Structure 1
Amino acid sequence: MKNITFIFCIFIAVWGCSPKEKNLVEKLHEIPGLEIVKTDTLENDQLAFDLLLEQPLDHEEPNGVKFKQRLYLVHHEPNAPMVLSTCGYRLYKSSGRDIVDLVDGNQLNVEYRYYGESFPDSIDYDFLTNDLAIEDYHRIRQLFGKIYGGKWLATGISKGGETTLIYKTRYPNDVDLSIPVVAPIIQGRPDRRTDHFLDTVGTEECREKLISFQRRILENRDSIIPFVEAYAKKYETSFPVDGPGAALEYSVLEYTFSFWQWGWDCDSLPGPYASYEELYKHLTDVSTLWVYTQKGIEGGASSTIQHQRELGYYSFVTKNVQDLLKDITAEDPAMTQFSPAGVEINYNPEYMKQVLDWLKANGNDILYIYGGSDTWSACAVEPGSNTNALRMIKVNGPHSTRIKHFSKEEKEKIYRYMEERLDVKISREEKGKASS
């Protein structure tokens, strides 16, 4: 593949590959273990590359077992800022694009190890740790820093934002500015701050309507479970943790968290004469059943392992519906029952505590973006008074909050902060849509 791409660019007259493009491809080939899978020219004439980079499975054994990590590069100018998107899960090409447009920069998105296509041939979850993943990002920063000599930014959304912050604590000088977006730093398994958030967010009237809806579902469980069973049949899967009744109950418990996380409106709740199918549809529009299916559990294994071992998680609030639960018997059910079979789970409560302590004491050059109504904002970082970090919270903003959603005055404050940290001019012109 390397030779094919190289030859492709040598025949400039035939294929229209400019000398500048040829030079870039040559530099990419100088990166050890990098494979160019595909090259595209975007609408703005920028080159985009689908890449695979050979990485050590254990960075303490650099000559040991390797795996291939997926990357996506959009090239603008070698001295323009580089936006490193620390994807927390699989790679999304649009992730971080809004930041790239603001700084008129290059883009490098990196898929997290053990997600998407970035799996080793033999899966040993002992090598799925945050610290090893950070070593992946650090090595990428070193390798691509030989091509891109301008300012570097790191950004990520949700778990990707957590990755941005953990990366900052391990290598504080790797990038000039970190922009974690809606990134919780969870303290515990579970973190009870989300319980308090759900007791106080929005209006009391709305919160009571949500509880009433949860109870309405469970009071009519026998009429709604057939829809749950049909869902499993449609997707050729099953509910391995205590059956479809338990899956329905888990979805009901998840409902209030997801409702506020994604910014649903209280007026969207089904009316008093809604059919059982309408009740089921609203529940599963807000709170998916997929994560409780066999296929969902298998597909989410990496995320479950990370949250149960290091990242922490939130709890299901049962107090408002405890009397209606039949298939879930624990007073405080947690996500441990969805861990993959045969994988040892030992939670380290100190890991994220140390991350938070470091950020409060030393977290400079960080722009935090949060949505005020997002349930995960209960776990938002509060910067220490001795740091120069800036935290922006969009009033009533959900988990999809991005910089573009702030007011003109708030955005100006964000832009000035970015300009001070990066010594570049931030574009005030809206370009496209914010990444999701």
Structure 2
Amino acid sequence: MRGLLTVCSAVLVTVLTVAGPVPAAKAAEPGGGDIGEALRHVPGLTVVDEAPAPDGYRFFRLTFTQPADHRDPDAGTFEQRFTLLHKDFSAPTVAYTSGYNVSAAPNRSEPTRIVGGNQLSMEYRYFTPSRPRQENWADQLTIWQAAADEHRAVQAFRALYPGKWLATGGSKGGMTATYFRRFFPHDVDGTIPYVAPNDVIDEIDSYNRFLSRVGDDPGCRTALKAIQRDTLKRRDEFGGLATADAAKKGYTFTTVGSLDKSLEIAVIDAYFAFWQYQKQSDCATVPKAGAPAAEVYAWFEKVESLTTYADQALAPYVPYYYQAAVQLGSPEAYDGYLRDLLRYPGADVPESFVPKSIERPPFDHFAMPDIDFWVRTQGRRLLFVYGSNDPWGAEPFRLGPGSRDSYRYFVPGGNHGANVAQLPPDEAAAATATIRRWAGLPPAGPEVTARSAPAGFPDFDADPIMTARPRL
């Protein structure tokens, strides 16, 4: 396997040079000039509008013309949505992506807060509206194409921001930041991926072993399994509530096949979703088997809605499920204790959530091992943060003998919102100092990692883009 990974890595390296030319912006004088005027000199960039921003910042909504296929100039272009939070031309700049849509609010990621810098946020290709008119999912929606998008963006903006650059993102965004660094290792000076899964070999799954022992309280795990079983035993009762809810919202279930199938998959997922986003203290909120249906339904709405897999709820995330089905991989369903109650065993897989009208190529078994191999053998200046109770951390990125100036931290009891500020004080201080060093800044006091954003800034972790379905 090692030889195969080496060959795969070498093949991928050879294709990195074929991306289209990067637009050259007119250089701005660091510390001076008007950012609004400077943006108008970036080829391919359109300033959609300037929105209100907290004192000391300016906030712009932008689009940037990208090749639909970085290897095929004849495939056309599309407009990719960006936002820019500008502080100073000479400040460090953070390239951020959630891996999904771009937020329209002037939020700051934690690394941006730590370095007090600018932030360029990018929407991931194929998430509406950042999608080519002539779609070609198999050729255009790959981790390399998305990395090439980020490469062109960073190169285009580097003329405006010649200082240090960092890349970051949470969850799928953390994966994206890692892939970007693998394919274009010299574009930024450091990468901080948050809660980024590393599903190296899809058939070898560590998630279920993790889920069988997650948390400090075995009674919580038992209670979760009990309410799942009770819900499936009372399927008609809960199905009636879900049917009424779906009718009110105008939901249909063509992609998964039926509301009943959607309900069953959601019940399976609820155990995973609970540990992903809830806290250990929320174990007390788990309803007891036999509780009134309305009470249980309301609990599922908080943890994993029983209408999660409606067509209308799935639509924004189809590009993610497609990627999970063809490159990223996914956890196997944790449902062994429910098997006697299942009507659709084996349905809880990404393929179930991709419309049949979208053709899928065979699964790429080389993509994730290549990334993992690069991190362990060539990774430089990477800082991974995970939550110890987050199921997505069951298969984390691993550092190896070739990783240099790289670090990995776990927040004790942390979930999918884990960040540097939640680490034990000595680890938080060390991680903060590392991030600031990569940004060319001196160490700072612990207040820099405060979880609450400064006055005027929305809390980034409250952004619905970060917490909405899908699980990742």
User: TM-score, structure 2 length as denominator?
Assistant: 0.83
Inter-partner Cα distance in structure 2 for 1:365 and 1:404: 19
Distance in structure 1 (CA, Å) of the matches to 2:400 and 2:107: 28
Residue 384 of structure 1 aligns to which amino acid in structure 2? G
Letter in 1 for 2:271: T
Change beyond 3 A, Cα 1:80–1:22: closer
Runs of at least 5 residues in structure 2 that lack an aligned partner in the other structure: 1-30, 462-472
Shift in Å, 1:199? 0.9
- After the TM superposition, which of the residue ranges 56-65 and 316-325 deviates more from structure 2? 56-65
Aligned match of 2:387: 371
Q: Deviations over 1:232-255 (max 9, x none)?
A: 101112223342221211111101
Tell me how far 1:214 sits from its aligned partner: 0.9
Q: Out of 315, 323, 336, which is 1:298 matched to?
A: 315
The RMSD of aligned alpha carbons is 2.1
* Inter-partner Cα distance in structure 2 for 1:352 and 1:273: 43
Alignment-derived partner of residue 226 in structure 2: 212
Secondary structure at the residue paired with 1:144? helix
Aligned counterpart for 1:397 among listed residues 400, 403, 414: 414
In structure 1, the partner of 2:53 is: 42
Q: Which runs of 5+ in 1 are unaligned?
A: 1-19
Pair 1:354-2:361 in alignment: no
CA separation in 2, counterparts of 1:70 and 1:333?
A: 32
Question: With CA pairs under 8 Å and 6+ residues apart, which has the higher RCO, 1 or 2?
Answer: 2
What residue number does 2:355 align with? 340
Residue 441 of structure 2 is aligned to residue 424 of structure 1: yes
Cα deviation, 1:199-222, whole Å, max 9, x if unaligned, reads 111232221111111111111112
Letter in 2 for 1:294: D
The reply to whether residue 281 of structure 1 matches residue 298 of structure 2 is yes
Letter in 1 for 2:150: Y
Deviation at 1:228, TM superposition (A): 1.1
AA at the equivalent of 1:372: S
- 2:66, 2:149 within 8 Å by CA — same for their partners in 1? yes
The answer to whether 1:435 aligns with 2:460 is: yes
Change (3 A) 1:275 1:209: same
Partner Cα separation in structure 2 for residue 22 and residue 417 of structure 1: 31
Code of the residue aligned with 1:31 in structure 2: it is: V
| Partner AA of 1:307 in structure 2 | A
CA–CA separation in structure 2 for the residues paired with 1:354 and 1:95: 33
After TM superposition, the score normalised by the length of structure 1 is 0.90
Q: Is 1:251 the equivalent of 2:266?
A: yes
| 1:308 Cα offset (Å) | 0.6
Partner of 1:13: none
CA offsets, 1:66-111, max 9 Å, x none? 1001111111111110010023000024565322121011110011
Question: Residue 155 of structure 1 contacts residue 181 of structure 1 at CA under 8 Å; is this kept in 2?
Answer: yes
Query: SS of the residue aligned with 2:168?
Result: strand
SS in structure 2 at match of 1:321? helix
- 1:115 is aligned, of 98, 109, 127, to 127
- Partner-residue secondary structure (3-state), 1:352: helix
Q: How many angstroms apart in 2 are the aligned matches of 1:96 and 1:165?
A: 19
Contact 1:38–1:51 at 8 Å: present in 2 too? yes
Q: CA deviation at 1:263?
A: 2.4
Q: Aligned partners of 1:100 and 1:61: how far apart in 2?
A: 34
CA distance in 2, matches of 1:226, 1:192: 35
Which amino acid counterpart does residue 46 of structure 1 have in structure 2? Answer: Y
User: C-alpha distance in 2, partners of 1:37/1:176?
Assistant: 29
Cα drift, residue 40 of structure 1: 3.1
1:228-267, aligned counterparts within 5 Å? 228-240=242-254, 241-264=256-279, 265-267=282-284
CA distance in 2 between counterparts of 1:334 and 1:188 reads: 16
Task: Tell which deviates more after alignment, 161-170 or 210-219.
Answer: 210-219
Matched position secondary structure for 1:364: coil
CA pair 41-255 structure 1, distance change in 2 beyond 3 A:
closer
Q: 8 Å contact 2:325–2:363 — kept in the other structure?
A: yes
Note the alpha carbon deviations across 1:142-168, whole angstroms, 9 max, x for none.
110011011000000100000000011
- Contact 2:164/2:438, CA 8 A, preserved across alignment: no
Matching residue of 2:287: 270
Q: 1:316 to 1:197 in 2, by over 3 A?
A: same
Structure-1 separation of matches of 2:119 and 2:443: 16
